[in-house]
Each structure stands twice: as C-alpha cells, then as structure tokens.
Amino acid sequence: MCGIVGYVGTRRVVPILLEGLRRLEYRGYDSAGLVYSFDNRLVRYRAKGKLANLEAVVDEYIGVASGIGLGHTRWATHGAPTEGNAHPHTDCTGELVVVHNGIIENYNALKKELMAKGHVFTSETDTEVLAHLIEDCLKEKRDLVAAVRAALTLVEGSYAIGVLWAGEPELLVAARNHSPLVMGVAADACYIASDIPALLPFTREVIFLNDREMAVLGRGTYTIQQIDDGSELAKPVSLIDWNASMAEKAGFRHFMLKEIFEQPQAILNTVSGRIVPDTGFVDLPEIGLDYATLDAIDRIALVACGTSWHAALIAKYWIEKWVGIPVEVDIASEFRYRRLLVDERTLTIAISQSGETADTLAGIRRAAQLGSRVLTVCNVVGSTMTREADGVIYTHAGPEIGVASTKAFTSQLAALFLLTLYLGQTRKTIDPITRKKLGLSLIDIAEVIATELPRLQTEISALIEGYYEAKDFLFVGRGLNFPIALEGALKLKEISYIHAEGYAAGELKHGPIALIDREMPVVALVPRDSVYLKTVSNVEEIKARQGRLVLFGTSGDEHLSTLTDDVLYLPDVMEDLNPLLYTIPAQLLAYEIANRRGCDVDQPRNLAKSVTVE
C-alpha cells in the first residue's frame, strides 16, 4: 500500500512532491524517492527509511525550475526496504521512470522474457518490470501513451502507476487497476495521488479513476481513456470538502474503522497471484522449503502473540483437518522459556504483523538452534523475522495505523489458509478438485465481506446502545469460532477498556456459567456449522440464566430470533472460512462500543503497535 504523488504545471515541482509525500507517509515508510524532468533529462533521488531521509538528500535542489515530477513512499512487498528497491524505477536507458502501488502477479514471467531480450535488472521489485516493459513497447510505438497502454495489456495484477519519459518531458501518464489513484485538477496544473490528503494543499477538485483507466496529464490539460481500447472518457469533477484529518482517514472517523473496511482488499492482495483459479494450484515462491523438506515434516509448531496467536489457533484446525500433521500452538512468551521438544522434523511457523515482536523472534531463534526449519508469516518485508527464517509468506495488508489489529489479522488468516492448501498440495492430502473449491472460496470471501460491511456497521451501531455501558462481556464459540470469540473479547478490552473474556462454549458449565445473570452480555457465534446444535444448546443454557444474548448466526436461521432480539445475520459460507467472516462483526462491535464511550480508538492507553521489548 505505497503512496504516489505526481504533478505537472507551472510551479516548482519538488516542494509539491515533498508536501504530498508527507501527507501520504502513513501509506509506507520503508523508503522514499522522487524524480523530475529538467533540461531534457530525468533527475532521480531515493533514500532508504522515512521521508526525512529523502528530504535531507534533495533539500538543496528545491529551487530547481522543473514543473513536472513524481514522488513515492514505499511499503515493501517485493524486495527488502533498500535504496536499490526504492521507487522511482528506471528502464535500461534511464530515460523512463515508473512509480507503482500494487502487485504485478506475473512479474516473474515478464522478467524472464525481458532478460532474454537483453534487459538488465538492478532491483528485486516487481515494479522495475513495468519500466522495462514500457521501454520495450516504446521501441515499436515511440509514443509514451501508446507504449504504456500496450505494456499494461500484458500485465496481470493490481497497480496504480505514474510514468515519465525524457522523450516527452511535459507529459505525465497515470493508470490504475485494483489500486487507488485520484487526479487533482486546477487551471494551470494537474496532479495524481494515491489518496486525497496529498492533493488538499493544492486543489479540492478531483477526479476518481476507476479500474482499467488511464490519464494523460499536461499543464492544466488532461484526457482520460480506457486502457483496453484507448477510447476517451468524460469523467465528473468532484469537490472535496474534507479537512486534513478526515482526508487521511478517507472520510472514516478513525483509522481502525478505515482498516476494517480495507479488509476485503487486503485479503485479495494477500491471495493475488498465489492461487490459479482455473486449477486451484497454489504457488508460494518465497516459502524457501522444497517439497522433500515439507514431506519430511511430522509436526508443526505455531508461535505468536496476541491477535496473531488467535490466527495460529485457527490455523491449527485447518492444518490438522486438511493436512493431517499434528500442530502445537504456543504463546511466544511461553514457548521461548520452556523446554522445547523440536528438531529437524519440526516446522516452526512464526506469525507477526511487524516481524519484530521480541518474544516471537526469541522463540524462533531457539527453535532454529534445535534444528527446526522456520517459516514466517509477516506483513513487513525485510523485517528481522523474515531475514532469519528459512522462508516467508508475506501478507499484503499494507500499513495498519490503528493499534488494535484488524486487517493484519484477516490477512494472516488468508495467508495461513493458503499455507494449508499448499501443504495439502505438496503432501497430496487434498485432491485437486477439493483444493480448487477451497481456493475459490477463499478468493470469494473478500467480496462477501465487502458486501456485508456497510449493513453490519449500521445494525451494530444501533445495537450497542443497550450494551456500551456494560462492565463485563463474555464471548463464546465452538470449533473454528472459539478463537474468534477470543479475538472479539481482546478487541473489546483493547479499545473500550471493558473487561471481556472469550471461552469455548462447551467450557461454560466448567465455571464461567457462574457469572451469568441479567447484567452479563454474552456474544455467541452460532453459524450453521458442524457443531451448530451443540452451540445452540450452550446458548439455551445462557438464556435460562437470564444472560443478555447477542448472537451472530447464519441468514435464515429463524430459531436464533426466538432466543434474543439481538441477532446479527451473516451469509452462509464454507465452514472453514467462517472465521474470516465472523471476525468482522466482532471488530465492529468493539469499535462502535469504544467510539460510543469516547475512547481513543486508534491509540488505546498502555498499548503499542509493535511489541519489540520483552
């Protein structure tokens, strides 16, 4: 989820690019760069780390009289966060540059074809392939717009791009597909950006590009066309009246709510390019372990903290069911201090959003010392865990600003389900037809969530009026939904400061049922799954003791409405994917209660985003 800004007009470009990047730095802070056209050549600056490092490099050049350029702040997906992998990327000649947000799924195949033609690559990124591909098309077209269109017809995946070419130094070309890109317009200038905040200091008149659309920008002039056939489009200009804070949150009240709504795209980004829809074949090129090594594994240890530990608990169900390997799940702070019975036949899997969690890192180091192979599921390219592991599965959630994890969690679930399918593929425990069905269901769940989110928020916003003043909550679920009960309770504790506990529903009779009375709200996850009747029996026991019930269940289940008036219905999806769906109302319930109580949702007290100390 990188940040892009571009400008063509009559003002000096470098200050505009830097100001735009400052307002987009929340989208990525692994590296930054900019390029401008001056004296018929392209001048490029890049720096590893935060934007301040780039500003230190280019500060003396702010006075350069150039009126066209591109800037980029990176959240690394392909290649470590280094200066060499920073955008903008150039072609072989250095006369063409590209900035890019998204994932080019077929970049490996394109790269091999281009190398066979003599192209030399200098980075590990998928983006550099775009620059060389456009260069290759320019040899035939000698026209930047035509070359970009031709190149994009060969590309699979998501992208928002900006392109400059020394051969047409007053032209900026931009395009998007499944990654955000907005244009800004003024009398003497045009702008592009990944998000509205970058444009607000300069213009409030914007045009939102849709998928498979391309913009050709000049000084106050522009055309918009379809990528596929080049036909021109007439697009309305919208007037933005947000303040800067609202704009950074894309109109949402808090980053957490924005990130809850970003989950469908984060799931798709994590899955993209890793499942072949026609066959169900799963490809995890960075896993770092060959089939023979994976076949020799006879035990898996999942190690994580907090929300990531809940993801690990769900993965245990999946892997044991579909792969048939015993799975042990450990809280990292316990794992690192007990006697570890791991060896070369154990696969230790660390799960961490940041890749820097101190306890998890210490745990995998101990496991590696004992001969275990180590795999990391992580959101941050180049983090310590990804460097020290034998292999990695990156989630592509983008930066998560809210301290309480939402989209990082569901992206971890998507990655772990992919891993389950991959292990079933390598060990031949999942037949191809079933694997394809499971893979397609994982892809489809993103659209299901996207469709349900607005309705769920509206219904939960009304429902919480009867609950937000409660002092305690219980969350209960069975099977795959027991970890979601734990996660729902954690979210409520984190951001509303209400005491909440999650339990396996069958455990109520072993103690917690003593807490049930007319003052105790109980959230029960009751999908129509293989343990539905058992869970309903537990709910009946709560009702008999006058507990205040909130039920999450399957659409059409009329029995639930006889138990309580407070039922949230969700679509009927494949049972294995219920955790991805049922976590959404749990997140929204915690958010709406915290918001109603006036809590600091994005920065709850005493918490940090990444726990890098013991």
Q: Which of 149, 148, 132 is nearest to 94 (CA)?
A: 132
**Contact predicate 602/401, CB 8 Å:** yes
CA distance 605 to 603: 6
Residue with tokens 């994005």: 602
Determine the residue type at 30: D
SS3 44: strand
Kindly give the interhelix angle for 263-271 and 407-426, rounded to the nearest 10 degrees: 30
Tokens of 31: 């590296």
Instruction: State whether the Cα torsion 593-598-603-608 is positive or negative.
Output: negative
Q: Which of 2, 137, 305, 378 is catalytic?
A: 2
Task: Specify the residue for token string 């129509």.
Answer: 528
Return d(Cα 162, Cα 7) in angstroms, integer: 10
Decide the pairing of beta strands 299-304 and 327-331: parallel
Question: Does 437 participate in catalysis according to the annotation?
Answer: no
**Could you please report the per-residue DSSP string of 170-230?**
T-EEEEEEBS--EEEE-SSEEEEESSGGGTTTT-SEEEEPPTTEEEEE-SS-EEEEETTT-
Judge contact between 476 and 504, C-beta under 8 A.
yes
141 catalytic? Reply is no
In the block, residue with structure tokens 């500003």 = 55
State the catalytic residue, choosing from 50, 437, 543, 609.
Answer: 609
**486, 492 Cβ separation under 8 angstroms:** no
Do residues 78 and 108 lie in contact, with contact meaning Cβ atoms separated by under 8 Å?
no
Q: How far apart are CA 499 and CA 12, in angstroms?
A: 55
- Two tokens at 182? 């907005």
Residue 119 DSSP SS3: coil
Strand 213-217: give its sheet, edge to edge. 89-90, 96-104, 157-165, 172-177, 213-217, 222-226, 232-233
Q: Is the peptide bond before 88 cis (omega within 30 degrees of 0)?
A: yes
Give yes or no for a contact between 353 and 367, defined as CB atoms under 8 angstroms apart: no
**CB contact at 8 A, 302 and 328:** yes
Any idea which residues carry the catalytic annotation?
Answer: 2, 609
